Amino acid sequence: MAIIFKAVNYTYQPNTPFEQQALSDVSVEIPSGSYTALIGHTGSGKSTFLQHLNGLLRPTSGEIQIGKQVINAETKNKQLGELRKHVGVVFQFPEAQLFEETVIKDIAFAPKNFGKTEEEAEVIARRMAHQVGLDDDLLVKSPFELSGGQMRRVAIAGILAMEPEVLVLDEPTAGLDPKGRLEMMRMFKRLKDEQNLTVILVTHQMDDVANYADNVIVLEEGKMIANGTPSEIFSQPDWLVAHHLALPKAGEFTLELEQKTGIKFSTLPLTEFSLAQKIASLLHGGDVNHG
């Protein structure tokens, strides 16, 4: 489902001493089936932005079109249930949302809420538990007996069980070990490719942006300051520094290499893979201008 923001403003606690404008005049289109990364400094409005995606917040002005549904300041709560079925949101530290007696019940909770029968929900729950790599013997345990990483998987499976068309991920790998992080990110990529999901990822990991995203939105103080492909966004290192962002590691390494050796690459490689390719072709004498 394509998501279109049209001049969206959002103000927290309007008309009080705590009034705070979190989004100002955000207009952006997230194409259907894209893998969009949302980046920005802490407090730039990323979380506010993603709470608009399934109607937890409604814009104070402007409107959002998600699939066929339009959300504006007047949209009623009743109309949002249908939308939430299609947009699954994995919040930061989603293990805090677990509450059922067993893992399988917790995963089946959302599909049941959205009208599946007990049996259907359990079938989906089992399938999703496998998707996220949970063993069968864990399914009958209490979610509170599991390790932090396993709880995270259960929580994510609980969202995937809604079978959403749009998957919103708010720092899904924060606090995980490197192996868990890699597995998780690969799983999202695989799900996206298999089921043609639209994925929106909020992250501070520029490597994840470079490795997985095909579209990047940059927020600063509630305003959208850039929107483009990762190679467009990462093409101006000075601009990134000015906005408290950074290059992916491969990019930084390349800049340093260019400085030290005087070699100029034609384009800045953003992933380790493309960097390795460039260096390999460099060794074979191609794709570089000796400066």
User: Residue numbers of the site for another protein (CB under 8 A)?
Assistant: 12-13, 15-18, 51, 54, 56, 77, 81, 84-85, 87-89, 91-92, 94, 96-99, 109-110, 113-114, 144, 158-159, 162
Contact 181, 149 (CB under 8 A): no
Q: How far is the CB of 56 from another protein (least distance, A)?
A: 5
55 or 230: CB nearest another protein: 55
Amino acid at 192: K
Shortest reach from residue 90's CB to another protein, in Å: 9
Location of structure tokens 């029968």: 117
Spatial distance between the Cα atoms of 66 and 58, rounded to a whole number of angstroms: 13
In the complex with another protein, the residue whose CB is nearer, 197 or 245, is 197
Report the Cα 178 to chain-centroid distance in Å: 18
The CB-of-224 to another protein minimum distance in angstroms stands at: 23
Q: Which of 217, 236, 234 is nearest to 271 (CA)?
A: 234
The residue among 56 and 138 lying less far from another protein, judged by its C-beta, is 56
Q: In what order do the strands lie in the sheet with 35-40?
A: 87-90, 166-170, 198-202, 35-40, 215-220, 223-228
Identify residue 26 by its one-letter amino acid code. Answer: V
Alpha-carbon separation of residue 266 from 11, 148, 180, 211 (angstroms):
44, 44, 35, 20
Instruction: Name the β-bridge partners of 5.
Output: 28, 64
Q: Looking at beta carbons only, is 93 or 239 nearer to another protein?
A: 93
Q: Select 55 or 269, whichever has its Cβ closest to another protein.
A: 55
Map tokens 């103000």 to a residue.
11
Task: Tell me the C-alpha distance between 110 and 86, whole Å.
Answer: 12
**SS3 call for 25:** strand
Whose Cβ is closer to another protein: residue 157's or residue 240's? Answer: 157
Q: State the minimum distance, in angstroms, from the CB of residue 105 to another protein.
A: 11
C-beta of residue 200 within 8 angstroms of C-beta of residue 167: yes
CB of 140 to another protein, least distance (A): 18
3-class DSSP assignment, residue 101:
coil
Instruction: Give whichever of 138 and 246 is closer to another protein, judged by the CB atom.
Output: 138
